[in-house]
Structure 1
């Protein structure tokens, strides 16, 4: 890759695409932001009073930082569609748009006159993207779902927490932007289907479906093995050692050995090669089985030297390691600065605000964060008058094939990746109809040796992430192997690699070399930390990225052992981000015929995903709200019951009168009314409210006397939105997940499908096909 090559001016691969965003909160608006980053013209429309996200804390100059960070790269209009003039304006926007985004509960878009059927009749080219809380079908379809509800109900909280402790929630809005990421990918699939096959479809997903999909490695464990889904603190279910250790200087260092080569380097780094010869730890599966014994030995060793010593040793042996960083560490960290993973915007109405940088780098169509941040509603007059553009001519309907087709049908993907992120990305393309050829070295993908094992002898993660692919073994250390691969790439549409910066060029397989013979090639490079900076060649891992980006600071109890998110969230979110860039590049190729190189990193993806955190900590009016306090308030366990835990938050229908009736049923009224601060803030005394932590002991005192079922029955009667903390294995059998139809059977195995509901459906389910030395 020629890093000195002049970068073209930012126009983005989606230049010319028009998006009408009527979404609210985070999932819909942030999907619009991502499309805006990619060059689409996005108009965000709200009711005249503005959406509720503007009122959250923290605020900067009176407006919620979350609102500012969630609505970038979009024009802003306030339109009352209940009035004739407003509805006409909305209909005109929908007539001109390529894409509509909404994330209401099922049926709401129809009820307000902006449903798919009504709009598609006048604009047959409109791709209608919907994401709801729990899906369009099933017993929970009409329920609202805030971030904590999904963390609790999805099983993510049940698998997160210290070993032997209670399940806990990530004290950060993680699932909302994650859901927006997968939603954005689905919308782009709809765009690709329209461009290739002529159908402008209604594409649907849900918060629950996206949450389950981004936990696919843990779901695979539940579906394909008998191993329990446990809470492991900072440790991992798939490899060991893979956790945080406390050093002599009282600092924690995160270390991860995902494969045998890293384990052998780890043993050299700690000067204990005899540990590698110990029969209990010879293989990764054995190390996971004997994780506690191994951790005890290692903790005693780490306590003998400061963290700096271990960092030097691990760096010398290419063992993934890192630290639990905070915001101020990241602001000036050379890796963050050189890759521009944080950027400063200067909205006129709020002052300077930090947001996550771009997660992708395109060689020919650079994405861009627009420095102009609109004042809410400032574009209303222009948009009411002209729509997207008064000179736009409505497009003629496409010439569709007889039925909707899988969007990536006929697209060939060469997948050179191993582990988690790359294979998950390859799987997403396979689920959209691509022919995915997985190239494995003679020793195989190291993910085969992760834990737990399935009946095939391979890991559940490997079997789940590599289904619907054809595997070919090629030795790239030989001339014949390299020649064979070059021949295959010459006929391919997409190449995915995770070899590390400049490694492809050393094999003469870099983009500039390959594009000479295949100018339409879309070349997607994945890395751990980005392609610039001092860490550009350092190996990464799930835990290391979670620690680097501060996830561990929003889990566990303050000043106690670190806790990680219980699923491989960094790896799967990165795959989701890369999927977006792949589809955007494919759209650009359909318009121009040219391919390009795109790079995405795990660090960059999580820095982008945490943009709400960075904006909240920039310069708030007061140190109030989740994004300010989530690192210091302690573990979030929900409201404990006799047999588990629930999470509840007030619905708009909850009045003060009903609230007091409700707490009388729980028996806590007399004690509650003695607390003036709680009385003054009764609405915020539970759920995500500003006074929920203060009131938590009082709630627990009375709710702990009841079962989860009893508590939910009372809450539901008073129109409180509440769910129980579900266990993943139980959730798989839950009627709501069954209704979504995401779990499919092949022989005696069960697999999780992609998180979308579309007219084109899924390709036939197949286990990975091996072709040996092809």
Structure 2
């Protein structure tokens, strides 16, 4: 067993401590949702100690690519954490964890339901010993109910929660969203739950159990499809890039870069028609209101295609945005990460030693996120 240690000295020190400075987090979670939650807390100043099993977090091997023998997948989720390994299946490992929890504020874990309880580390036992501890769990389905205690992974929850059924091209097969959206939203909700519990603790002096389940979080993403089904009972279907309720809210080809038009109201549509040199199109009764544009979307798309084909995509987007019409070129990942506004917003991070990652999207004026150390080395 190893004693906790920083993986690297802080790269730089911001004059103001982070918003969560003084909060101590013991992160025994693995893979994605829990570690993503822990990284957000760490970016904002919490002291996060990541505890891995003897074999390490399995995402260390989820490559290629690898950076110094560690998969970039792991590197993207564990910045700003100290690291150590413990075997919690052994009594001495459990005793060391209890010693670490003595002055911790948060325990973050994603063990299968019943595992910590079997080891005497379940919520009830820990709450009795550490009444101020916030115990946060990321789980697949929660502890009870028809699916309680079963394992859950992002793609399986995308399938079961209905997300795949509304993703993909019209008439094609259901399609997984191309990023682990359920895992990441579950991590975000775990952060929210932890902060709520810490805020409530200031009044009561007591911690509580926080759970963010992938199944719940997958269902929570079904807007507007759930709202539409509650409204009229029709089964939501795949609409490709198009929005199910409003139009033109869709991807379109141009003479160069394809673009996405995100027209949300009548004024924006009229401005679009003016920029395209066809102001009369904005007065056509079939397209004059949001509801009519949605009903007549096939005819409207057919009318827009030849007009858009006369324009270079990025120049057109500049014109449209200047007129208040939400739109964007459709970029690939390197183009998006290299965009000047990405740099301006601080959305890429570099640290000594070669670490590169995404920056925090949460901007605080006095206590911004800081990037102090790369993910734990092979501790």
After TM superposition, list the pairs within 5 Å mapping 1:96-495 onto structure 2.
Answer: 96-249=103-256, 251-347=257-353, 352-377=354-379
Asked if 1:72 corresponds to 2:72, the answer is: no
CA drift of 1:254 comes to 0.9
- Provide the secondary structure at the position in 1 that maps to 2:136: strand
How many Å apart are 1:67 and its aligned residue? 1.1
For the pair shown, which has the larger CA radius of gyration, 1 or 2?
Answer: 1
In structure 2, C-alpha distance between the alignment counterparts of 1:104 and 1:85, rounded to whole Å: 19
Contact 1:50–1:78 (Cα < 8 Å) also in 2 = yes
Please give the TM-score of this superposition, normalised by the length of structure 1: 0.46
Structure 1 residue 106: deviation in Å?
1.7
CA distance in 2, matches of 1:127, 1:234: 41
Q: Aligned with 1:96: secondary structure?
A: coil
Does residue 19 of the first structure (1) align with residue 25 of the second (2)?
A: yes
- Secondary structure of 1:70's match? coil
Q: Note the C-alpha offset of 1:360.
A: 1.9
Q: Contact (CA 8 Å) 1:10, 1:368: kept in 2 or not?
A: no
1:333 deviates by 1.5
Q: C-alpha separation between the residues in 2 aligned to 1:115 and 1:243? A: 48
| CA–CA separation in structure 2 for the residues paired with 1:286 and 1:248 | 28
Preserved contact between residue 168 and residue 174 of structure 2 (Cα < 8 Å): yes
Within 5 A, what are the aligned runs for 1:25-44? 25-44=31-50
Q: Matches of 1:237 and 1:230 in 2, distance apart? A: 8
In the TM superposition, what is the alpha-carbon distance from 1:372 to its structure 2 partner?
4.1
* Conservation of the 8 A alpha-carbon contact between 1:19 and 1:98: yes
Match of 1:466 in 2: none
Superposed counterparts of 1:687-702, under 5 Å: none
CA contact (8 A) 1:95 1:119 kept: no
- 304-313 vs 49-58, greater mean Cα deviation: 304-313
CA deviation string 1:216-255 (max 9, x = no partner): 3322122223344121111111321111111123x31111
Residues 84 and 134 (structure 1), Cα distance of their counterparts in 2 relative to 1, 3 Å cut: closer
Match of 1:742 in 2: none
Q: Does the C-alpha gap of structure 1 residues 372 and 53 become closer, same or farther in structure 2, counting only changes over 3 Å?
A: closer
**Structure 2 gaps, min length 5:** 1-12
Indicate how the Cα distance of structure 1 residues 283 and 300 shifts in structure 2: closer, same or farther if over 3 A, else same.
same
> 2: CA distance between counterparts of 1:114 and 1:270?
64
Task: String of CA shifts for 1:677-704, please: whole Å, max 9, x gaps.
Answer: xxxxxxxxxxxxxxxxxxxxxxxxxxxx
Q: Which whole-Å CA distance do the structure 2 matches of 1:340 and 1:125 have between them?
A: 35
> Residue 397 of structure 1 corresponds to which residue in structure 2?
none
Displacement of 1:321 in angstroms is 1.2
Matched residues, number: 366
Aligned counterparts of 2:264 and 2:61: Cα–Cα separation in 1: 43
Verify the 8 A CA contact 1:275 1:281 in the aligned structure 2: yes
- Structure 1 position 201, deviation (Å): 0.9
Q: Is the 8 A contact 1:105 1:141 kept in 2?
A: no
| Residues 59-90 of structure 1, C-alpha deviations (whole Å, 9 max, x = no match) | 22221111122111111010122333322111
Alpha-carbon distance, 1:306 to partner: 2.8
Q: Residue 10 of structure 1 contacts residue 367 of structure 1 at CA under 8 Å; is this kept in 2?
A: no
In structure 1, runs of 5+ residues without a counterpart are 1-6, 378-774
Task: Choose which of 63, 67, 78 in structure 2 pairs with 1:60.
Answer: 67
Does structure 1 retain, via aligned residues, the 8 Å contact 2:355–2:374? Answer: no
Cα distance, 1:161–1:39 mapped onto 2, change above 3 Å: same
Name 2:98's counterpart in structure 1: 91
Taking a change above 3 Å as real, the CA distance of residues 172 and 68 of structure 1, as seen in their structure-2 partners, is same
* CA deviation profile, 1:568-626 (whole Å, cap 9, x unmatched): xxxxxxxxxxxxxxxxxxxxxxxxxxxxxxxxxxxxxxxxxxxxxxxxxxxxxxxxxxx
Alignment of 1:648-663 (within 5 A): none
- Structure 1 residues 655-674: aligned runs within 5 Å: none
Deviations 1:258-300 (A, max 9, x none): 1222122112111222212111112111111111111111112
Superposed CA offset, 1:489-517 (max 9, x none): xxxxxxxxxxxxxxxxxxxxxxxxxxxxx
Q: Is the 8 A contact 1:358 1:369 kept in 2?
A: no
Q: Which moved more, 1:125-134 or 1:266-275?
A: 266-275
Q: Secondary structure at the match of 1:360?
A: coil
| Runs of 4+ with >3 A deviation | none
Paired residue for 2:4? none
Q: CA deviation at 1:332?
A: 2.9
CA distance in 1, matches of 2:259, 2:369: 35
Q: Deviations over 1:128-149 (max 9, x none)?
A: 1112112222222232211110
**Alpha-carbon separation, structure 2, partners of 1:166 and 1:121:** 50
Paired residue secondary structure (2:148) = coil
CA distance in 2 between counterparts of 1:228 and 1:281 reads: 25
Aligned mates of 1:271, 1:196 — CA distance in 2: 61
**How far does residue 212 in structure 1 lie from its aligned partner after superposition?**
1.5
The whole-number CA distance in structure 2 between the counterparts of 1:34 and 1:130 is 15
1:420-463 C-alpha deviation (Å, 9 max, x unpaired): xxxxxxxxxxxxxxxxxxxxxxxxxxxxxxxxxxxxxxxxxxxx
Structure 1's 8 and 372: CA in aligned 2 closer, same or farther, altered over 3 A? closer
